């Protein structure tokens, strides 16, 4: 193996439940889906890089291990290997695609390039012998994505399913507790995929189930109490779902020893500070200190045109303001932060460092400077689990479903230099777009929708007079995670209303245009 984990990749958690499955990540784009599907079945599941040393895997006492797919060929140079103990495991191991091929090759089977690569749906037929296929119809559609195949079974293994392309599309060796499938049970395109994973978790590994984000939260609350003792905690609230649910959990654990700070940086949406204040104080009963630092931020942003400089300035100033505000809290020793599971599990197995497209502003710099101990109650949860949890804990729907809003706010939506009059124009136009999208009933179908203000003027005519005013861009995208996105085809009538209202009601805009760029090649924000 040779590779070691990067420092800080894993911090032991106080919060893990008694029963869990582990997924070892070999670099598949579906690795996170495997964990999410298993959690949906009620079994807590964590992801570790495939380079995790053997000892660390078993120390965590998993009831079973899944080896994910991956982009490499098991016979290629430098292809990731399975940790030693996985071939003679104390608990059942399921290999998916690359994972199955690893089990095959390392147990003495033959893995070779397939005559034809197979991507997409395949008709699968199982022979009734496989424990994974119990209760599953004999033939069904499975999602395949592989260029290699298991040609010959290792000794002691039996074939349990095949497709037209792959004679050995699934195998097992119950004596050695090894199972493999050459397709992706975790993707929705595989019929009965959830049943196959359920069979693995419950029938093969003997899971008891019952895990939910809510049950996780109960343990988390107890863990926070234990960690904090009688200490004080500070939390930066942004109005987004992550920091809100974080605050709710910490508040349940320690009540008003939690101090939430909301920084008005002057580049917020219309009425944002007041909206967040009232949802916290009146909606959730959590006191919120709103720090009006708009002037400070705007003074520092004056004349700055570069998107990256804007981000850096806002990030740095945020830290200063937050630090100053928390100095007034006596004896604060902890910082609560809404870090999510995908931020914790970066695949270290095959991916190299990716290029920095935009340096995202977050509060990561805070704990180091402030010497605060971190509390990250969402560290083990996926975004949709946080939403579910937020709802169950009684967060207002408006907060749970709110579109993401970037830390640098309107500063990266007002191209060129940020100035106050432009911000007012942008706020009004943006509020109209949001209002119309909500009343057309499309808000929840869209990942993000907002207005961008361009640093140029065009000629128009209004009431017989010539105008020379700004251009507003409508940007609306559909996306699952913000990594890739498609422009949203908003209904024609909605666009007509938004355009008429913006040009009619917002002083300073005489032209509205629509952005029809997906990501890639564009990014979601314009800066
Ligand atoms: P891009 O523009 O990179 O955006 O396609 C992807 C997602 O990230 C948000 N975004 C940011 N969020 N700080 C943030 O907290 C930032 O600097 C930042 N830049 C972009 C963007 O709104 C989208 O959801």
Does 523 sit in the ligand 1 pocket, CB within 6 Å? yes
361 included as an active-site residue: no
* Predicted local confidence at residue 8, as pLDDT: 33
Secondary structure element (H or E) that encloses residue 106, with its range? helix 98-106
* Predicted local confidence at residue 292, as pLDDT: 98
Does 266 sit in the ligand 1 pocket, CB within 6 Å? no
353: pLDDT strictly greater than 80: no
Whole-structure pTM value = 0.85
Does 525 sit in the ligand 1 pocket, CB within 6 Å? yes
Average pLDDT score over residue span 126-132 = 97
pLDDT per residue as tens digits for the range 230-280: 999 999 999 999 999 999 999 999 999 999 999 999 999 999 999 999 999
Share of the chain above pLDDT 70, in %: 93
What is the CA(139)–ligand 1 centre distance, in A? Answer: 44
* Predicted local confidence at residue 482, as pLDDT: 86
How far apart (Å, rounded) are the C-alpha atoms in residues 44 and 211?
Answer: 6
Does 111 sit in the ligand 1 pocket, CB within 6 Å? no
* Predicted local confidence at residue 364, as pLDDT: 53
* Predicted local confidence at residue 6, as pLDDT: 35
Atom of ligand 1 nearest to the CA of 447: 24
- What domains are defined for the chain? 17-204 (3.40.50.880), 213-400 (3.40.50.620), 419-514 (3.30.300.10)
Q: How many CB atoms lie within 10 A of CB 123?
A: 12
- In this structure, is the dihedral angle defined by the CA atoms of residues 337, 343, 345 and 348, taken in order, positive or negative? negative
How far apart (Å, rounded) are the C-alpha atoms in residues 156 and 142?
Answer: 25
Instruction: State the average pLDDT for the chain.
Output: 91
Atom of ligand 1 nearest to the CA of 362: 15
CA atoms within 13 A on the CB side of 1: 17
Does 361 sit in the ligand 1 pocket, CB within 6 Å? yes
Residue the block writes with tokens 């392309």? 165
pLDDT per residue as tens digits for the range 301-349: 999 999 999 999 999 999 999 999 999 999 999 999 998 888 877 533 3
Burial call 377-386: b when 16+ CB within 10 Å, e when fewer: bbbbbbbebb
Left, alpha or beta for 110 (phi > 0: left; psi -120 to 50: alpha)? beta
Atom of ligand 1 nearest to the CA of 448: 24
Does 365 sit in the ligand 1 pocket, CB within 6 Å? no
* Predicted local confidence at residue 346, as pLDDT: 56
446: pLDDT strictly greater than 60: yes
* Predicted local confidence at residue 16, as pLDDT: 53
* Predicted local confidence at residue 422, as pLDDT: 97
Closest to 233 measured CA to CA, from 113, 330, 125: 330
Atom of ligand 1 nearest to the CA of 522: 5
186 included as an active-site residue: yes
Pick the residue with more confidence: 219 or 15? 219
How far apart (Å, rounded) are the C-alpha atoms in residues 230 and 224?
Answer: 11
pLDDT per residue as tens digits for the range 428-445: 999 999 999 999 999 999
Q: Please list the residues that pair with 374 across neighbouring strands.
A: 335
97 included as an active-site residue: yes
pLDDT per residue as tens digits for the range 376-398: 999 989 988 999 999 999 998 88
358: pLDDT strictly greater than 70: no
């Amino acid at each position: 193996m040779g590779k070691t984990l990067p420092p800080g990749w894993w911090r032991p958690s106080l919060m893990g439940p008694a029963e869990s499955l582990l997924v070892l990540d070999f670099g598949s784009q579906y690795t996170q889906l495997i964990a999410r599907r298993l959690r949906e079945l009620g079994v807590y599941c964590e992801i570790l890089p495939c380079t995790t040393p053997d000892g660390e895997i078993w120390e965590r006492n998993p009831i079973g291990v899944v080896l994910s797919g991956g982009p490499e060929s098991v016979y290629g140079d430098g292809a990731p290997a399975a940790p030693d103990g996985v071939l003679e495991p104390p608990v059942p191991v399921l290999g998916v695609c690359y994972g199955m091929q690893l089990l095959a090759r390392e147990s003495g089977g033959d893995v070779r390039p397939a005559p034809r690569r197979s991507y997409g749906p395949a008709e699968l037929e199982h022979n009734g012998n496989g424990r994974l296929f119990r209760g599953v119809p004999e033939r069904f559609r499975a999602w395949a994505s592989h260029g290699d195949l298991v040609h010959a079974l290792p000794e002691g293994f039996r074939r349990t399913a095949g497709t037209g392309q792959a004679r050995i599309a699934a195998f097992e060796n119950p004596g050695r507790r090894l199972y493999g499938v050459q397709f992706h049970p975790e993707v929705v395109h595989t019929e009965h995929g959830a049943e196959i994973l359920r069979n693995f978790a419950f029938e093969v590994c003997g899971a008891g189930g019952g895990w939910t984000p809510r049950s996780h939260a109960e343990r988390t609350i107890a863990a926070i109490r234990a960690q904090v003792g009688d200490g004080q905690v500070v939390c930066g609230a942004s109005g987004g779902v992550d920091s809100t649910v974080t605050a709710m959990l910490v508040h349940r654990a320690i009540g008003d020893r939690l101090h939430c700070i909301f920084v008005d940086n002057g580049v917020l949406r219309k009425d944002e500070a007041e909206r967040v204040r009232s949802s916290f104080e009146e909606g959730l009963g959590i006191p919120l200190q709103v720090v009006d630092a708009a002037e400070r931020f705007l003074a520092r942003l004056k004349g700055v045109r570069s998107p990256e400089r804007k981000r850096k300035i806002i990030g740095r100033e945020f830290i200063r303001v937050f630090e100053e505000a928390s100095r007034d809290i006596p004896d604060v020793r902890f910082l609560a932060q809404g870090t999510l599971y995908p931020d914790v599990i970066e695949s270290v197995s095959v991916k190299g460092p990716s290029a920095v497209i935009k340096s995202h502003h977050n509060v990561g710099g805070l704990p180091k400077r402030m010497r605060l101990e971190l509390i990250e109650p969402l560290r083990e949860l996926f975004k949709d689990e946080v939403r579910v949890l937020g709802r169950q804990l009684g967060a207002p729907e408006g907060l749970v479903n709110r579109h993401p809003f970037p830390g640098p706010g309107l500063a990266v939506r007002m191209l060129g230099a940020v100035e106050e009059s432009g911000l007012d124009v942008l706020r009004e136009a943006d509020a109209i777009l949001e209002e119309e999208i909500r009343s057309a009933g499309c808000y929840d179908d869209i990942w993000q929708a907002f207005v961008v203000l361009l640093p140029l003027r065009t000629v128009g005519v209004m009431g017989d007079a010539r105008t020379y005013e700004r251009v507003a861009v409508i940007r609306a995208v559909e996306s699952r995670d913000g990594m890739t996105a498609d422009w949203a085809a908003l209904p024609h009538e909605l666009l007509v209303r938004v355009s008429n209202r913006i040009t009619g009601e917002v002083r300073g805009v005489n032209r509205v245009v629509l952005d029809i760029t997906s990501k890639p090649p564009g990014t979601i924000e314009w800066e």
